[in-house]
Amino acid sequence: GAVVSQHPSWVICKSGTSVKIECRSLDFQATTMFWYRQFPKQSLMLMATSNEGSKATYEQGVEKDKFLINHASLTLSTLTVTSAHPEDSSFYICSATPRSSYEQYFGPGTRLTVT
Amino acid sequence: GQNIDQPTEMTATEGAIVQINCTYQTSGFNGLFWYQQHAGEAPTFLSYNVLDGLEEKGRFSSFLSRSKGYSYLLLKELQMKDSASYLCAVTPRPGNTPLVFGKGTRLSVIA
């Protein structure tokens, strides 16, 4: 099956700094990728839709200036958490769907801890 | 709006059968997914239903009734490793669109 990778798998940063998370589709091209966030014991909540070559579409309540998304190529999307706060600590997961497939493939997730 | 309901927690015995129900009310419907998620890991795909009926895949089966907005995931011959969260998710529109997830059902398999 298709593989989606994320880097880093975990990161600890200080409050006020920025963190970049990468999401790559390893064996297929993805014009669209999705970024989800999951707090402990809760389900995945969609943050934004990342579109190759155009601006991301953000869900209501997600600050686009705080969560910067760049989809620079057909295999890479990045999420940058700017001026991180402890409440941004969460599990961030990306997903992508190959063309002619209905299944969304998820990356392994990135656990962000802001101290 | 989008609403997907499933029980928060369930407990079952090793070797038994358990059924996890999911009801949904979404603005559209183009398929229902079940994912398994172990703590601290990303979800892994279990099943996909877009037409009414039962889809069987080994120990796992998934059922869909579109008219009732209802699905269930059936796990047979439960094993300890089946202890995980099970997420019901709907894709409301055709094409490459994001999933709407339920809150997940935490299943504990006990000896």
Chain B (4-63) residues lying within 8 Å, Cβ to Cβ, of chain A: 31, 33, 40-45, 48, 50
* Vertex A51: Cα angle to A46 and A52 (nearest 5): 145
Confidence bin at B100 (pLDDT 50/70/90):
very high
Cross-chain residue pair A104–B33, CB shorter than 8 Å: yes
Confidence bin at A2 (pLDDT 50/70/90):
confident
Q: Please report the number of interchain residue pairs, chain A to chain B, with beta-carbon separation below 8 angstroms.
A: 48
Rounded Cα distance, A28 and A1, in Å: 10
Please answer whether residues B104 and B85 qualify as being in contact, where contact means their C-beta atoms are separated by less than 8 angstroms: yes
Residues of A in contact with B64 (CB under 8 A): none
CB within 8 Å of A77: residues ≥ 6 apart:
A22, A23, A30, A33, A35, A50, A52, A69, A70, A71, A94
Rounded Cα distance, B83 and B60, in Å: 14
Residue B103 confidence (pLDDT): 92
pLDDT digits (tens, 9 = 90+) for A92-104: 999 998 877 778 8
Q: In the structure encoding, which two tokens stand for residue A81, read together?
A: 């958490």
Averaged over A10-36, what is the pLDDT? 95
Cross-chain residue pair A43–B102, CB shorter than 8 Å: yes
pLDDT digits (tens, 9 = 90+) for B20-69: 999 999 989 999 999 999 988 889 999 999 999 999 999 999 999 999 99
